[in-house]
Amino acid sequence: MDTTEIIRSYYDSSVETEWERIDNRPEFLITCRYIDRYVKAGDKVLDIGGGPGRYSLWLAQKGCDVTMLDLSPQNVDFAKKKATEGGLALNALVGDARTVDDIVEGVFDAVLLMGPLYHLLEESDRIKAINASLRLLKPNGVIFVSFINVFSGMIYAMKFDPPVIMDGFESEFYKAVLEDRSFAGEAFTQAFFIHQRDVLPFMAQFSLEKLHYFGQESITSPCENNIMSQPKEIVDAWLDMSEKLAEREDLLSWSEHLMYVGRKL
């Protein structure tokens, strides 16, 4: 089974898990605050790697004209079902981010590329995905690009599975962390974890004006379960603080996911 099939199979078998994973979590809530700064009702939005549709459906509820593409047929079917249940319009397609411009027609006000770069192990493929996305973005349109932070595996292990540090299977990943570099290989599935210092140099090769580079969970990742169990006013205060700190370079390693926001020149 090739890498693409491994990833497709993984997401086909974890639709509900992925749907619940970011529900009312800092990753989703903080990212939505950034999207809200640039995307308004009536905008045409392309969500590439939209998974089971959490962001696509939120955008449709905002009144956006949303097209979603995902590698997993099960994710696409789930998103369509959720859209129908919610009385929302959603154009959802199955496809590969690297060839999205061969599948999707039109020009979009905003593009979300939030997921595909997690699983494209070769830099040449990550470049293909971004170039294909940009061909569908209008001039002055805004693109939102997500990466998994290489330190995220450590955060996850400390929160949910401390004994995994003894697992020899993880040795190559830990070696990358200790050597202060990115990692591509077998993890929860085939995945690419980027070092936070490598994001901006990588994105600099594209015809984009950087608007933001931030941690999607900001400072909350290590303690998010405790924070999100608090009363709403306390949760909101932590989210407000986290949004203010999200772009602090010295705090990016606190986040499991990193986002670059750019305007097409």
Instruction: Give tens-digit pLDDT for 231-244.
Output: 999 999 999 999 99
Helix 54-61 to helix 26-36 angle (10° resolution) is: 40
Mean pLDDT of 17-39: 97
Q: Is residue 156 part of a domain?
A: no
Q: Is residue 249 part of a domain?
A: yes
CA 235 to each of CA 31, 70, 98: distance values in angstroms, whole numbers, following the listed order: 15, 31, 38
Q: Is residue 87 part of a domain?
A: yes
Mean pLDDT of 27-49: 98
Backbone phi, then psi, for 132, in 5-degree steps?
A: -65, -40
Domain enclosing residue 59, as ranges:
3-149+193-264
Q: Is residue 259 part of a domain?
A: yes
Q: Is residue 72 part of a domain?
A: yes
Tokens of 107: 């020009």
pLDDT of residue 163: 95
Instruction: Give tens-digit pLDDT for 195-223.
Output: 999 999 999 999 999 999 999 999 999 99
Total domains, the chain: 1
Instruction: Give tens-digit pLDDT for 137-176.
Output: 999 999 999 999 999 999 999 999 999 999 888 899 999 9
Q: Is residue 134 part of a domain?
A: yes
- With a CB cutoff of 8 Å and minimum separation 6, the contacts of 201 are none
Angstrom distance (rounded) from CA 104 to CA 97: 10
Task: Read off the CATH number of the domain in which 111 is found.
Answer: 3.40.50.150
Q: Is residue 165 part of a domain?
A: no
This prediction has a pTM of 0.97
